[in-house]
Amino acid sequence: MLGKRFSRMAVGSVAGVMLMAVAACGGSGGGTTASEAPSSAGASSEAQKSALKVGLAFDVGGRGDKSFNDAAYVGLEKAKTDLGAEIKDLSPSSDGSNRGELLRQLADAGYNPIIGVGFLYDNDIKTVAAEYPEIQFAVVDSVSSGPNVTGLQFAEEQGSYLAGVVAANKAENGHVGFVGGVEMDLIKKFEAGFVAGVKSVKKDAKIDVAYISADPAIGFKAPDKGKVAADKMFQDGAEIVYHAAGDSGTGVFQAAAAAGKKAIGVDSDQRQTIKDAKLQPVIMTSMLKRVDVGVFEFIKAFQGGAKGGNNIVYDLKVDGVGLATTGGEIDDLKDKLDAAKKDIVDGKITVPSKP
């Protein structure tokens, strides 16, 4: 159900989420859904619990992006509160060239496990994990690359499909838009799902699509460029624009406010995380990518004795993606959204992951 539990960033329990103790899925493109992942082999000792030290390295944009990175930090903070973990977070340089250095810094300081937020950590974690085989690593949005690496993946296309259903139902003229931060396969999953959701409601809908950059160091942290892209869409007649652009999405909200239109946020409940009171009302909903849940459940499973070498997929079945309901602007669509979600979970609808 798409109930009120999606209206806050607080971590909810995902039933059955524990990491596998074998490396059978390591390095593959597929993964085990969170609901299918078996429990860990046993409880940890009290000494392990008291010594839990968790390190997290953010993606470009770092803490405070009001989106992807901040969602990960919510999971890290919950580990501190609920599991008694000592936590440390680090942000990369503007071009992200020191990702490997951050991972080694955390490893040398005794942090275990260590989490890299974003697929751009993939190669660095593969290298560093081999250098520190006794430490468990996780990488968000990528696959396992070794026996001590867990891939935390999300069905972004499924959550984006629901966002598309909202946009199509709310845009009276059938004209909507999508702004992606970086033109890459991961962000195209958001585009593909959104377009499919819109078309499921209005086959003749007009959908504008624009990407800010091919460079992650630019595309996810350029609000000015996000505003330019969305400005054009609103000027051309779009009523609602959905973004998957990290901090650049702030510019989309600014454009919506200036045009008197609406926008859909991403990753976190951005009606809550965006502090500008003038922008909050334009955010009719956000597609929640529960990175907070993935991070926390990985840490919890580690504390319980689980090992890596596998991939966990957070999809609609386990509420790993969904929609925020803050503001009540999509409450009238609850039945339609519940029906769409059920059809996806039951396999009646297969959401495309490529445009």
Residue ranges covered by each domain of the chain: 4-155+290-318, 156-289+321-345
Region 2-28: what's the mean pLDDT?
36
Rounded to two decimals, what is the model's pTM? 0.83
Region 132-141: what's the mean pLDDT?
97
CATH class of domain segment(s) 156-289+321-345: alpha beta
How many other CB atoms are there within 10 angstroms of residue 108's CB atom? 9
What does the pLDDT look like over 238-277, one tens digit per residue? 999 999 999 999 999 999 999 999 999 999 999 999 999 9
Give the helix/strand (H/E) hosting 345. helix 334-345
Would you say 306 and 40 are in contact if contact means Cβ atoms under 8 Å apart? yes
Residue 25 clears pLDDT 50, i.e. is over it = no
**Looking at the DSSP assignment, which residues form a beta bridge with residue 114?**
55, 137
More confident site: 68 or 287: 287
What is the reported pLDDT for 33? 67
Region 78-96: what's the mean pLDDT?
95
Average pLDDT along the chain: 88
What is the reported pLDDT for 132? 98
Minimal CA–CA distance to 171: which of 236, 223, 266?
A: 236
User: 18-22, 74-78, 190-194: which range is least confident on average?
Assistant: 18-22
Q: What percent of the chain lies above the pLDDT cut of 90?
A: 80
Instruction: Confirm whether 4-155+290-318 and 156-289+321-345 share one CATH topology.
Output: yes
How many other CB atoms are there within 10 angstroms of residue 83's CB atom? 17
Residue 324 clears pLDDT 90, i.e. is over it = yes
Minimal CA–CA distance to 263: which of 194, 313, 202?
A: 194
Residue 31 clears pLDDT 80, i.e. is over it = no
**Predicted confidence band at 5 (pLDDT cuts at 50, 70, 90)?**
very low
H-only helix segments in 21-131: 46-50, 68-83, 99-108, 122-131
Burial of residue 79 (number of CB atoms within 10 Å: 0-12, 13-18, 19+)? buried
Kindly report the CATH number that applies to the domain delimited by 4-155+290-318. Answer: 3.40.50.2300
Give the helix/strand (H/E) hosting 181. strand 175-182
What is the reported pLDDT for 38? 43
Buried b (16+ CB within 10 A) or exposed e, 235-268: eeebbbbbbbbbbbbbbbbbbbbebebbbbbbbb
What is the reported pLDDT for 37? 54
* Residue matched to tokens 């995380």: 273
Region 183-203: what's the mean pLDDT?
97
What is the reported pLDDT for 276? 95
